[in-house]
Amino acid sequence: MRRPGVLPDGTTVARAALAIAAVALVSLLFIGSYAGALHEPTPRDVPVAVSAQVPPALEDRIDRSDAFRVVPVPNADDALREIARGDAYGAVVAGSRGIEIITAPAAGQAAAAAIAQGLEPDLRSAVADVTTRTVHALPEADARGLVGFYTVVGWIVAGYLGATFLGLLFGVRPSLRRTVWRLSGLLALAIVAGLGGAALAVWIGDTGSFGLLAVIGLLTVLASGAATTALQAALGVIGTGVAILVFVVAGNPSSGGPFPTEMLPEPWRTIGPYIPTGAAVTAFRDAAYFPDAPLGGPLLVLGAWIVAGVAAALLLARRRRGPGERDAALAAVMGS
């Protein structure tokens, strides 16, 4: 016979077993996602601008490689514009001194190394004069180009942790009025974290573009926080775990921070740009190092997560009324 107060009851044991299983599953997914995405980065279809002056035989050699995808351009100036707009990671152009390979480390150190190391020996075996040149170099303070990635990770963490702590204050499934207060608190957090994160990134990484980075930070915190708020409103505490799965387990390795998405296997290379982490990393990199690159795509992704999260949280909250709201409604009915 079970002695009261010594052994846990069956319900407690079942809940403990469920918690253990959930934590174990998340940890295994974490290991599998990070190891699966990052254990062997391999270039696949890395876009390289190739000018029309490059001999067709050399262009064919580049295009036959699974590692690279040729982006045809009329001349060297257009090749540089493709890089500046973020549409190519590097270029191969022809000039008076032979063939020139251009790399852009700010677009991704791993991609720049893949272009230089993958193309130079092959092209040098076909032509005598091959030189290399770097554009859009990384600042000395951020020689590996990771300040932006870690800044974005901090913004993502601020979003889902902020939503969780505000949920402890207002409830994870609060009434409509308390949901509005909760979202207002999230907006205040996004402003502070966005400004602070941008200031630290500029100070530590010498990135510049403080104002634009602050806006990206604000949107990133809101995207993560609004989505977490909606998940908690729908699933309760379990929603926090789902948010971690999306933003940390899936989002971090697929973001293009440690390695460009073109060097990741599936499904990470496909899902990365559509998760707030990946969209924010792209927006940060372009704002900091590629001012000609259009930011519409990644900002649209962040905006879509914000709108969807806020709308879902408010719609779910409308189905619930807090005690004060019920009393006000009853008083209004009795007084009519």
Task: State pLDDT tens for residues 196-234.
Answer: 999 999 999 988 789 999 999 999 999 999 999 999 999
Considering 137, 158, 193, which residue would you say is the last residue of a domain? 137
- Quote the domain boundaries for residue 68: 46-137
> For residue 238, is it within any domain?
yes
> For residue 28, is it within any domain?
no
How many CB atoms neighbour CB 26 within 10 A?
16
94 and 164 inside one domain: no
Do you find a cis peptide bond into 267, omega within 30 degrees of 0? yes
284 and 234 inside one domain: yes
The one-digit pLDDT tens for each residue of the chain (336 residues) are 455 556 677 788 888 888 899 889 989 999 999 999 999 999 999 999 999 989 888 888 888 889 999 999 999 999 999 999 999 999 999 877 789 999 999 999 999 999 999 888 888 777 768 889 999 999 999 988 899 999 999 999 999 999 999 999 888 888 899 999 999 999 999 999 999 999 999 999 988 789 999 999 999 999 999 999 999 999 998 899 999 999 999 999 999 999 999 999 999 999 999 999 999 999 999 999 998 999 999 999 999 999 999 999 999 998 765 444 444 433 433 443
How many CB atoms neighbour CB 238 within 10 A?
13
List the one residue out of 247, 189, 245 whose CA is nearest residue 221: 189
119 and 155 inside one domain: no
Instruction: Report yes or no: 24 and 241 within 8 Å, Cβ to Cβ.
Output: no
Gap between the Cα atoms of 197 and 148, Å rounded? 10
**pLDDT tens string 247-285:** 999 999 999 999 999 999 999 999 999 999 999 999 999
203 and 267 inside one domain: yes
> For residue 334, is it within any domain?
no
228 and 247 inside one domain: yes
Packing angle, helices 176-205 and 323-335, rounded to 10:
140
Considering 116, 137, 158, which residue would you say is the last residue of a domain? 137
79 and 115 inside one domain: yes
253 and 168 inside one domain: yes
124 and 176 inside one domain: no
Can you read off the two tokens belonging to residue 128?
Answer: 């005598």
Q: Check residue 84 and report its DSSP letter.
A: H
Can you read off the two tokens belonging to residue 10?
Answer: 């069956």
The number of distinct structural domains making up the chain is 2
Could you tell me the CA-to-CA distances from 77 to 52, 92, 99, 144 in Å, in that order?
Answer: 11, 11, 15, 27
> For residue 73, is it within any domain?
yes
199's CB contacts (< 8 A; 6+ apart) are 210, 214
Burial 111-137 (b: 16+ CB within 10 A, else e): bbebbbebbbeebeeeeeebeeeebbe
78 and 133 inside one domain: yes
> For residue 221, is it within any domain?
yes
> For residue 52, is it within any domain?
yes
326's CB contacts (< 8 A; 6+ apart) are none
Q: Hey, which residues does 103 pair with through a beta bridge?
A: 90, 134
113 and 183 inside one domain: no
149 and 120 inside one domain: no
Gap between the Cα atoms of 221 and 248, Å rounded? 14
> For residue 163, is it within any domain?
yes
pTM of the predicted structure, to 2 decimals: 0.89
189 and 128 inside one domain: no
